[in-house]
Amino acid sequence: MSGVGKTVCVTGASGYIASWLVKLLLQRGYTVKASVRDPSDPKKTQHLLALEGAKERLHLTKANLLEEGCFDSLVDGCEGVFHTASPFYHDVKDPQVELIDPALKGTLNVLGSCAKNPSVKRVVLTSSVAAVAFNGRPRAPDVVVDESWFSDPEFCKQNKLWYVLSKTLAEDAAWKFTKEKGIDMVTINPAMVVGPLLQPTLNTSAAAILNLINGSQTFPNSTFGWVNVKDVANAHIQAFEIPSANGRYCLVESVAHYSEVVKILQELFPAFQLPEKCADDKPFTPTYQVSKERTKSLGIEFIPLKQSIKETVESLMEKKLFTRERGERMSGVGKTVCVTGASGYIASWLVKLLLQRADPKKTEHLLALEGAKERLHLTKANLLEEGCFDSLVDGCEGVFHTASPCYHDAKDPQVELIDPALKGTLNVLCSCAKNPSVKRVVLTSSEAAVAFNGRPRAPDVVVDESWFSDPEFCKQNKLWYALSKTLAEDAAWKFTKEKGIDMVTINPATVIGPLLQPTLNTSAARILNLINGSLTFPNSTFGLVNVKDVANAHIQAFEIPSANGRYYLAESVAHLSEVVKILQELFPAFQLPEKCADDKPFTPTYQVSKERTKSLGIEFIPLKQSIKETVESLKEKKLFTWSIYLLGSQTFPNSTFGWVNVKDVANAHIQAFQIRSANGRYCLVESVAHYSEVVKILQEQFPALQLPEKYADDKPFTPTYQVSKERTKSLGIEFIPLKQSVKEMVESLKEKKLFTCLCFFLAQARARIKSKSTQFELGSLNFY
């Protein structure tokens, strides 16, 4: 449902949930009237005013929850009201003043204003699981909490659960008031909300995560439901937009004890100093279940808890709210390492992650690789020049040797591939042998040095680190890149054994995922070739792995003392036909190859052992996500030039037309000829719709398209009108619905390979509008 042309109100807009709600509403085209306590306070407003669309469609107003009538002007003219404003504190001195009055009276004041304004179609109230689950009923692993549960005010008072009491009383009063006044209200009851922060200040629920990573010696003996803030904000909007939405919706992705949260943090951030014991010696408070049945009707697919925790920590660091110096077991603080070939695909991510592992006080802008100013030193080096790496390696505890060319169409394999890989590796290792500071070398090898030996690969064959590629096999089959990696790794093992150097090799399969470097690398090019207009896909099968997992594995191989030998990294082994299938699911509007490049049987898949990789703590990013990240990154880097941008415009015209399918028009011509009584004029219009409605239909049909989100001027939408179908009925025409017509048009353009012509759609429309023409044709539609 598009919000274009609609106005809604959000109270408490500077808050954690509300900030995300405002962001998503603006993205959907809504005009947002929002209340904040102090519009002049940049800490409360700057992050809101910086949102896309805020300049045109966000209006901030000062409001006081306890002032009756304060929300009248804010609510006036709004179709929807999202009441999120309610204080969330646990250590209050006066619960009545600090929590209960703002929650209860504030809610009734907002609803009072809604009752005065007939424009309001629905109110969405931000309640909480706090208003659901605190009633003295036992919670255990076999107990399912759902929306029929209500917290008991007396139980809350007895246990001094003041925040819980405030939410319980506020929601109860809201239901009574809206029933009496006939207001359509839906409540969203989220559990503990985590995920990225938009606001610059720390909120209570994010603080629960911060406390675990900020030096605490213990974790609380508490069990909560957890949910991502983005899912909560999205649920608010769905609850407003879906006509059948009603009642309460409990939002909980997972129920987990704090010990489980600590475990997840340990897996995600193994270098962090985390609490190892519970705050008391009592049995852990039990987990329980929360029903997701009603939430399914809102179309919410919850973000997993692990991802939510990761996003929370990364956001705390980005917002400079996590300032503790982390003295971890293998912290990067104070240590110097060397990375060769740092501008490469894997190496760029390796540098980024190494900087992130260091002192956060010196890495204020990690996402932009800031911190590099103080601690990243770039040096020119030639792989073939002996001794060139001596000064680079000097003083380093770890050396990551990633530099090695990756070409598949080399004209002179010896010069372009083998010499740089083999001699370059030995030159780096020689420099390491001269420097006693070097504790470990991590060498970026490849699957190419593992699997090319003539041994059959089939679905029941498991390839592991004990496999080595055969140089003779590589030469016979002209696998020059595989030969270069095989010779280089073999020479490295012999040299390090002779010199007593501690070395670990990382042998990744085909590496995909987001690019940091501005240029296209060989492995990402494999994905680009599939989406860039190719008519066929290669008959090839290989392992695939995300570049972030590869970079992380390098660091883990350096930091974990017991790491040794080889680590073969492959999340999945897939034929390119499977990759095409995933691309089709992710980007249904893409024109993808439909057949293989040859008629031979598909090269078989095989298995890759992950046993050794587990010891590095790597939990692989799924292939589908890796492919998605690759394509999105190619677009971001402007390396994907095939247009999937509908109409090539940021705006749509402020115009209203009648629309009809070309097949109906052709049929009407024939009917007008064949029916003897036909006479005069026949207006053919299935629907009259503004361009905003057409954009909405396109968004529903082809969600991968980047569509214009706003219209070309600030005037009111040109109105719709009706077109009589009385005379057309006599021709026996049953119009094809507009939604189907739009779908057919886009599919026809794809089939005819005219998809890029869509960029002329608006230009043609505008030209016709300027010339005051009332009709034009494109593809398989007539436009009136």
Average pLDDT per block of 10 residues along the chain, 784 residues long: 87 94 96 92 92 95 87 94 79 80 90 94 95 91 93 91 91 95 96 95 88 83 96 96 96 96 92 85 93 94 95 90 50 70 79 64 39 63 77 89 74 87 92 92 95 94 96 94 94 96 96 90 88 88 94 90 93 96 89 91 94 85 94 86 43 85 90 88 92 87 73 82 91 91 82 48 38 38 34
Q: Does residue 60 contact residue 39 with C-beta atoms inside 8 Å?
A: yes
Q: Are strands 223-228 and 254-257 parallel, antiparallel or unpaired?
A: antiparallel
> Given this model, what pLDDT does residue 775 score?
41
Residue-wise over 219-251: b if at least 16 C-beta within 10 A, else e?
bbbebbbbbbbbbbbbbbbbbbbeeebeebbbb
Pick the CATH number of 7-193+228-252+288-302 from 3.40.50.720, 3.30.70.1230, 3.40.50.300, 1.10.10.10: 3.40.50.720
Domain 646-783 has CATH 3.40.50.720: yes
CATH fold for domain 337-636: Rossmann fold (3.40.50)
380 Cβ contact partners less than 8 Å away, ≥ 6 residues apart: none
> Given this model, what pLDDT does residue 384 score?
72
Q: Which pair of tokens denotes residue 665?
A: 């028009």
> Given this model, what pLDDT does residue 256 score?
96
CA separation for the pair 264, 267 (Å, rounded): 5
What is the DSSP secondary-structure string of 124-166?
EEE--GGGTS-SS----TT-EE-TT----HHHHHHTT-HHHHH
Eight-state DSSP code of residue 448? G
Distance of CA 445 to the CA centre of its chain: 30
Neighbours of 764 (CB within 10 A): 15
Q: Which pair of tokens denotes residue 270?
A: 């193994």
Residues of the chain with CATH 3.40.50.720: 7-193+228-252+288-302, 337-636, 646-783
Q: Does residue 615 contact residue 563 with C-beta atoms inside 8 Å?
A: yes
> Given this model, what pLDDT does residue 614 score?
84
CA separation for the pair 747, 756 (Å, rounded): 12
> Given this model, what pLDDT does residue 447 score?
95
Q: How far from 285 is each of 46, 220, 306, 475, CA to CA, in Å?
A: 40, 10, 21, 63
> Given this model, what pLDDT does residue 344 score?
80
